[in-house]
Amino acid sequence: MKPLAITSYTVTSALGAGRAAHVSALRAERTGLTEQRFEDSTLACWIGAVAGVEACALPRDLAPFDCRNNRLAELALTQDGFIEAVAAARAKYGARRIGVFIGTSTSGVRQTELAYRERAAAASDNLPDWFDYRTTQCTYSIAQYTQARLGLTGVASAISAACASSAKVFASAARSVEAGFCDAALVGGVDSLCLTTLHGFNALQLVSPEICRPADAQRKGLSIGEAGGFALLERASASGAVACLGVGESSDAHHMSQPRPDGSVAKLAMAGALGRLPPERVSYINLHGTATPANDAAEDAAVSGLFGARVPCSSTKGWTGHTLGAAGIVEAALSLLTIEQGFMPRSLNTRELDPRIHATVLLEARAGQVEYVLSNSFGFGGTNCSVLFGPAP
């Protein structure tokens, strides 16, 4: 693909709102995960909740979109001067010519859960009048909200491929710009806490009762978090500008909720993202690293198969939790921060590295020049996506 410069980006997760909060949490080795129950959840586990999401108000003209997921989007959009950067791009390209590609897995399902709870309490057949399917529950709601909030009027799409959703937005955006359907792209991802994912992953016995421990010999599963992040992509004109350089995608064709154990197809996605860049040029890999036994083993087979033990890597799920459809954009933002800061975060909460893991998982933070970073995201349905960031040639 042709490189796309990242001219502005922002991230909001359990580590805080905006990039500075993430840098300080990463440097202080402070997790955003807490042992608490989400609202009326009956599940005892650790979660990565975003402070301030309930209190975040949408602009009055977008009130029909009000739900936890769009509030989280609003909170994330209003950090780091992002709205101003998009306004400048809108003036440059025109509102019709900036495409919107937003990843989510569950969009506003929390609103539907609340509607069903009220229906059960009232012993009613119907859902309450306040429940608006299109503007909250519909997967597209988050893309429509983002597009409207930013005053854009061109192509908009909600990419929903489970936990790879907001990595795959980089691929869709790049192809759309290359084909000429837009001149610049707004990519992002937002997923918010809800009972569906907490109890759903629990039904699959994938939720850890303790804080998640990626790559640990005693890992017991994932901790779920919520997050939102956005990036503005423009055709790279200046050499050296930080850019999205490649995206690789593949399908396991193996099982709906289990990765292919040998990692052979996930490896194809990583190789696809690298393109012609030799693997040894990669400075750091941000792993998908959910801390489920199956994911970490399969991902390690793929990473060590392609890179050996030469490239330092870590999962940042121990900091943010698994933010599902937002994981791709959160980890893209953290990858960009490692480049900016010359700082590679360690695999937080990992006490004893699984001896069956062969890649160089960072147990201590590392400082040094970070040039190229690969970020992995995998999802249910066997979908794999890897994104390469680095200097535009």
Partner 1 sequence: MTACFIKGVGIAAPGLAGFHASLEILRGVAPYLANAETPYAPALLPPNERRRATAPVRQAFRAAEDAVNGSGADARELASVFASSDADMTVLHRICAALAQTPRVISPTDFHNSVHNAASGYWSIAVQSMAVTTTLSAYDASFAIGLIEAAALVDDRRDVLLVAYDTTAPQPLLTKRPLAVSASVALILSAQAGAAALGRIAVSASDHPETSCANPSLEGLRVGNPALRALPLFELLAAQRAGTIALRSTGEPRIAVSFTP
Stretch that binds partner 1, among 50-58, 82-90, 111-119, 306-314 (CB under 8 A): 111-119
* Residues contacting residue 278 through CB under 8 Å, at least 6 positions apart: none
Number of H helices, E strands in the chain: 11, 17
The active-site residue out of 22, 56, 67, 288 is: 288
Q: Catalytic site residue 255? A: no
How far is 313 from 373, CA to CA, in rounded Å? 10
**Contact call for residue 257 and partner 1 (CB under 8 A):** yes
**Contact call for residue 290 and partner 1 (CB under 8 A):** no
Q: Catalytic site residue 194? A: no
Kindly list the distances between the CA atom of residue 294 and the CA atoms of 96, 263, 326, in Å, as whole numbers in the listed order: 43, 10, 21
* Pair 76, 11: CB distance under 8 Å: yes
Annotate each residue in 35-64 with x if it binds partner 1 (CB under 8 A) or - if it does not, as one string: -------x----------------------
**Contact call for residue 23 and partner 1 (CB under 8 A):** no
CA neighbours within 13 Å on the CB side: how many for 249?
18
**Contact call for residue 123 and partner 1 (CB under 8 A):** no
Q: Catalytic site residue 254? A: no
**Contact call for residue 251 and partner 1 (CB under 8 A):** yes
Q: How far is the CB of 29 from partner 1 (least distance, A)?
A: 33
Burial class of residue 40 (count of CB atoms within 10 Å of its CB; 0-12, 13-18, 19+): exposed
The 3-state DSSP class for residue 249 equals: strand
The active-site residue out of 56, 163, 194, 313 is: 163
The 3-state DSSP class for residue 260 equals: coil
Going edge to edge, which strands form the sheet with 34-35? 34-35, 46-48, 224-225
The 3-state DSSP class for residue 389 equals: strand
Applying the rule CB under 8 A, the residues between 127 and 156 that interact with partner 1 are 127, 131-134, 137-140, 143-144, 147, 152-156
Candidates 226, 249, 299, 331: give the one binding partner 1 (CB under 8 A): 249
Phi-psi category of 167—alpha, beta or left, where left has phi over 0 and alpha has psi -120 to 50? Answer: alpha
**Contact call for residue 328 and partner 1 (CB under 8 A):** no
Amino acid at 272: G
Q: In terms of CB distance, is 28 or 179 closer to partner 1?
A: 179
Instruction: Just list the catalytic residues.
Output: 163, 288, 322
Q: Which residues bind partner 1 (CB under 8 A)?
A: 42, 95-96, 100, 105, 109, 112-113, 115-117, 119-120, 125-127, 131-134, 137-140, 143-144, 147, 152-162, 168, 171-172, 175-176, 178-181, 195-196, 199-201, 203-204, 249-257, 265, 268, 379-383
